[in-house]
Copies of this chain bind each other. A is one copy, B any other.
Amino acid sequence: MRFTSERRIDDGVGERAFTLGEIPGILWTPGSASAPAPLILLGHPGGLPAMYPRLVARARSCAAEGFAAATIELPWSGDRPRSAAAEQARADLRRALEAGEPVDDEIIDRLVLPLVDRAVPEWRATLDALLALPGIGGPVGYAGGVIGIGIRLAVVEPRIAAALLFAGSFVPRTLFEEARQVTVPLQVLLQWDDEGNDRQMALDLFDAFGSREKTLHANMGGHTGVPQFEGDAGNRFFARHLR
């Protein structure tokens, strides 16, 4: 892990850009911390430069609660090399959605599975590097982003102690099965009128998670309309499980 820039943003929050091999990422740390800060991994749908405003807002909210936060670029997104297969899968998805057709399982598999297969080990390697830094401690939470990555991480990465997931469709059947193996506490956000997500499938996925403690927060509005107060609710969820 190599730090490429460092600055202070509001409230004394430290922001450090890094690269881990070819993967760019950002680490935010609270202005003052007496003990190692629990770490929250911020997932997102890819494209760090475009996602930055939302991520930094979330990271500042985490820092206000004493949590460190970190994110990395997804494979084949942002400034990382493209994949012809991933581009093809995205184009096929777009075509199906624009035509108003049901999206074929085969397209979802091509879109999500290689991404999860590649991204999860990258997140784990990032975790190794982050937890070796002074001031960053376990336990670790995962918040948001591509739900498939969150599911797989929660299953295979024992350092993830709690996960806040954004309900989404486009969940391959195989990840649906992996959801049954998730046992960490979960908070799942569902936008009730999400134009791009099937409500019943999101409810079925919530039902499938194996966790004994899981809470669904369903709110009105479309995909990007998550109410501001859910940021606070997410922090309280992590405070219960990461302290």
Contacts and interface: CB of A to CB of B under 8 A. Distances in A.
A217 B190 CA distance: 10
Interface string A207-223: 10001111111111000
B207 A227 contact: no
Interface string A230-241: 001100100010
A206 B227 contact: no
Nearest to A237: B229
A131 interface: no
Task: Give the interface centre of A214, A215, A227, A229 by most chain B CB atoms within 10 Å.
Answer: A215
Interface in A169-215: 192, 203, 206-207, 211-215
How many monomers of this chain does the complex have?
A: 2
Contacts of A240: 229
Interface bracket on A = 20 to 34
Contact of A216 (B211, B218, B227, B229): B218
Nearest to A219: B215
A218 B207 CA distance: 10
A74 B58 CA distance: 45
A3 to B, nearest CB: 37
B229 A220 contact: no
Nearest to A212: B220
A236 B232 contact: yes
Contacts of A236: 229, 232-233, 236
